[in-house]
Structure 1
Amino acid sequence: MSSRLQDKVVLVTGSCTGIGKAIAQRCVAEGARVVIHGLEKDLGEALVAELGKDRAVLHIEDLTAEGSSERLVQLAVSTFGKLDAVVNNAAMVSASNIHTTDLAFFRRMLEVNTLAPFSLIKAALPELRKVRGAVLNIGSVNAWSGEPNLFPYSVSKGALMTLTRNLGDTLMREDGVRVNQINPGWVLTENEAQRKREHGLADDWYTQVPKVYAPAGRILWPAEIAAAVVYWLADESGPISGQVVDLEQHPFIGRNPPKDATTIPTPAK
C-alpha cells in the first residue's frame, strides 16, 4: 500500500459524497486517518464503515452553525491525537443570476463557500502550527468569472481564491502552515448527475458531452481530483504555498470555443 500520507490526520469537509468522498477514500489509501463531514448521515456512516472505524470518524453538522469549526477540530484531536491537514471541500452549488439572486441567498452562498472555510482554518491553526500542516481549499474554475447563472457561486469561489493566496503567504511566514487551492473543472459527481437530470437531460448525458466542453470525450472523475489532492497534503510538496491550480482538460482563461458550439447546461462542481 502507498504511504504518501502515512499517519497524517486529514479533515475533509463535505466528504459524504462526490469529490470529498473520493478525497477521503484516497487519503486513507495513502495511509491517512480522516474526519468525514457532511449533512448526509446515512452516506457518512456507510463511508466510515467502508474505510474502517480505526481510520475514519464522522461528524454531521452544517458548517455555518456556531462553533461547528471548533467541534470538527476537537473531534480530530480527541479521536486521532492531532490534525495535519484540512481540506475545505464542502460547497453550496446553486444556479442563479443577478435577476434571481437576492441578498439573503447571496449571503448564504458566501457563508458556506467562503466564510466557513475561513472559520475552519482559523479554528485549526493552533493544531496545524504544531505539525507545520497544510490547508487545501477546493475551489472551482468558475472562480475566474463563471457563467451568468452561477453568479453568486462564482463570486464565492473567487473570494476563496483570494483568501488562499493571502493566507498562503501569511500563514507560511508566521506559522509554517501551507495554504493552497485546486480549482476543479467539470466533474461527474452524484450531485452533478442529479442536477443534469433535473435539467431534463437523459441519464447517460455525460457520454454525449460536446468536445468543445470535453476534448477528451468525457468530463473528470472525482477520483482524478482526489489523486491531485494527495500531492498538496503530502510532505513532497515541500514549502509551496499560496498557489491556485486549475484542474481541467482545456485552458479555461483565454479559450475561444467555436461559434457553433453546442450549448448544454452549465457545468459546476
Structure 2
Amino acid sequence: MRLQDKVIIVTGSTTGIGKAIALRCVEEGARVVIHGLEQEEGEAVAKEIGADKATLLIGDITMEDMPQRLTEAALTAFGRLDAVVNNAALVVSSNIHTTDKDFLRRVLEVNTLAPYALIRAALPHLSAAHGCVLNIGSVNAWSGEPNLLAYSISKGALMTMTRNLGDSLHREEGVRVNQINPGWVLTETEMKRKQEHGLPPDWYTKVPKVYAPAGRILMPAEIAAAAVYWLADESGPVSGQVTDLAQHPFLGRNPPKDTTTIPV
C-alpha cells in the first residue's frame, strides 16, 4: 500500500486519466476527492470506490470558489489533505487562425490558472502534511502539434509553473511539485474527439507505427501507474521534475512526411 491513509484531490476524475488515477490511488490505500463536470459518471466512480474512500464534487474547475470547495471537501470528508493531482483539462483543436484571445484565455483558465489556484488554496494543508502536487501535462508542452496551439501553450505554461513551484515550495513549505507529460492516451474524450474529426469508431486499432511503435497508444491505467510513484513517499525529496510518458523520444524526433494518416 504505497499511499496508505493519504488523502488526495484528483481533478477531472469522473472519466479518463483522472478516473484511472483516482482508482489506482484507492487501490494503493488512499482516500480521494473525485471531481469533474459529469454528474452521472462521477457518481458511478464514487460508488465503485465506496463512500468510505471517496467523496464527490461536481463543478467547473474555473469557478472562483472551486479551489476552496475542493480543499474543504477533502478536510470535511477525511480530515486532512496530502496531495493534489491537477488533471482537469480542456483538450481542443486550434491553430493561429482559429485561436482568438478569448479562446486562448478560456483554455489557459482551465489548463493553467485553475491548477495554480488550487495549489494556492491547498497549500497550508499540503505544507502541514509535507505533501505534494502532481500536475498532469502533455508532451505537447514542448511545442505541440500544429492543430493544438492553445492547448500546447497552456501545457507549456503549466510545465514552467511546475519547475518554478517545485523549487520554491519545496524550499519554503516542504511541498514537492512534479509533473508527468503523457503522450497519446486512449481516453473516452480522445476516442470521441477523433470520431468528431471524421475518423471511424475503431480508429485506435489502426494507428501507424510512426505514432505508436507498440502498435497501440497508451491507456489511462498506464499513466495512473506512473502517477503513484510521484504521489508516494518513495519519490523522496524529488521536486520540480517533468517526466515525459511516451512511446518514443518526443524532442528532436522527425517522423517521415508520409505517415499514412491518423492525427487529425
Interval of TM-score (by shorter of Structure 1 and Structure 2): over 0.9
How far apart in 1 are the matches of 2:38 and 2:88? 12
How far apart in 2 are the matches of 1:216 and 1:173? 40
Q: Indicate the residue corresponding to 1:189 in structure 2.
A: 187
Q: Indicate the residue corresponding to 2:199 in structure 1.
A: 201
> Structure 2 counterpart of 1:57, which letter?
T
1:85·1:128 contact (CA, 8 Å) conserved in 2? Answer: yes
Shift of 1:265: 2.4
TM-score, normalisation: structure 1: 0.97
Stretches of 4+ aligned residues off by more than 4 angstroms = none
TM-score, normalisation: structure 2: 0.99
Matched residue count: 264
Shift of 1:80: 0.2
How far apart in 1 are the matches of 2:57 and 2:24? 19
Spell out, residue by residue over 1:167-213, the C-alpha distance to the aligned partner (whole angstroms, 9 max, x if none).
00000000110000000000000000001111121111111100000
Spell out, residue by residue over 1:121-151, the C-alpha distance to the aligned partner (whole angstroms, 9 max, x if none).
0000000000100100000000000111110
> Structure 2 counterpart of 1:211, which letter?
K
Q: Indicate the residue corresponding to 2:261 in structure 1.
A: 263
Spell out, residue by residue over 1:11-48, the C-alpha distance to the aligned partner (whole angstroms, 9 max, x if none).
00000000000000000000000000000001000110
> Structure 2 counterpart of 1:226, which letter?
A
Equivalent residue in structure 2 for 1:91, among 84, 89, 94: 89
> Structure 2 counterpart of 1:80, which letter?
F
Larger mean CA deviation between 135-144 and 197-206 belongs to 197-206
In structure 1, list runs of 5 or more residues that go unmatched: none
RMSD: 0.7
Q: Indicate the residue corresponding to 1:76 in structure 2.
A: 74
Q: Indicate the residue corresponding to 2:223 in structure 1.
A: 225
How far apart in 1 are the matches of 2:150 and 2:168? 27
Equivalent residue in structure 1 for 2:176, among 175, 178, 196: 178
Equivalent residue in structure 1 for 2:59, among 58, 61, 73: 61
> Structure 1 counterpart of 2:5, which letter?
D
Q: Indicate the residue corresponding to 1:23 in structure 2.
A: 21
In structure 2, list runs of 5 or more residues that go unmatched: none
How far apart in 1 are the matches of 2:250 and 2:18? 23
3-state secondary structure, aligned to 1:242: coil
